Amino acid sequence: MRAVVCESYGPPSSLSILDLPEPVAGPDDAVVAIQAAAINFPDLLIIENLYQVSVPPPFTPGSEFAGEVVSIGSNVTNVRVGDQVMGGSFVGSFAEQICVAAASLNPIPAGLTIEQAAAFSVTYRTAYHSLVTVGGMKSGDWVVVLGAAGGVGTACVDIASRLGAQVIAVAASQERLDVCSKLGAVAGINYSTEVLKERIKAITGSGADVIIDPVGGPYSEEAFRGIAWGGRFVVVGFAQGDIPRIPLNLVLLKGGIIKGFEMRTATEHLTEAMDVGDKVLNAMVLDGVVPHISDVFTLDRTREALQFVADRKSTGKVVIRMQ
């Protein structure tokens, strides 16, 4: 099988595309022939060894995929050969096949194409649980989404709007804010030209009830200064590259709550909440929810696709389609 391989840490241009042996399912595993995989920003951090968890080379990056089950282990009962499934894995998705724990796979909901399914599992689950399970979002809340035109950002705007929140999208250009407006954002802030704290207060009056931050860097503290008393600030990632250091006196004065969400650990510690979230998200798909995909690349162009995301050129999810 063909696969993208990180042989040593570095930028997307350093990746190789190699022929590797096809994986073999263990007793509790399933092998999936991947038809589409989606790029998430942590993929870029992992290949440069900038993520919180290191993966020793060589490895195949990619954490989100959809495809067809081609073999299963002797203990597997939840999927069968031929099933169309979607799933996530910390690494391994930028390949023609992947072996994962069968229990981690979910059937593709009716209404999603294979590309949409690849872009749905990790991103929409991250968005839902960041907003609801961790952020305690309620209908009517003012929700600020940083990096709102990215993969997780567009999913947060979409879900929060559908659940009755008043969403303020934060992005770096009017083009990106226009994308968020179409997904339901009631207001937008261009953080390249506007001051976050002042604009959040001007729009909401009393501040944001929930802030979702997949960006980090200097924008985190600036956004936190615009939070309402008792508001929830949810850390999702650090796409900007720098881990912020929010002064604790601000947390004290704001009565604010800072929490974090990471899919890898949440699936271990929030089992019941994850199951509830999957039911809610499946119902949303039946109601017409689909991930916003801005660009599709082939496996041969994975390096280009990753650089495209690194250069902030995407306005939604970027998907790798297998030939």
Name the token pair of 133.
Answer: 């399970």
Give the chain's domains with CATH numbers: 2-120+290-321 (3.90.180.10), 124-264 (3.40.50.720)
Q: Which amino acid is at 102?
A: A
Which secondary-structure segment (H or E) carries 180? helix 174-182
Please enumerate in sequence order all residues whose Cβ is within 8 A of that of 61, keeping only pairs 6 or more positions apart, or say none.
4, 6, 15, 43, 46, 47, 91, 92, 93, 94
Distance between CA atoms of residues 88 and 42, nearest Å = 13
Which secondary-structure segment (H or E) carries 182? helix 174-182
DSSP 74-95: TT--S--TT-EEEEE-SS--SB
Rg (CA), the chain: 19
Sequential pLDDT tens for the chain (323 residues): 999 999 999 999 999 999 999 999 999 999 999 999 999 988 999 999 988 889 999 999 999 999 999 999 999 999 999 999 999 899 999 999 999 999 989 999 888 999 999 999 888 999 999 999 999 999 999 999 999 998 899 999 999 999 999 999 999 999 999 999 999 999 999 988 999 999 999 999 999 999 999 998 899 999 999 999 999 999 998 887 788 899 999 999 999 999 999 887 877 788 888 888 888 988 899 888 999 899 999 999 999 999 999 988 888 899 999 97
Instruction: Please state the pTM of the whole predicted model.
Output: 0.88
How far does Cα 153 stand from its chain's mean position?
A: 8
Residue with tokens 């509830």: 276
Q: What angle do CA 178, 142, 204 make, to 5 degrees?
A: 85
Contact yes or no for 321/298 (Cβ under 8 A) = yes
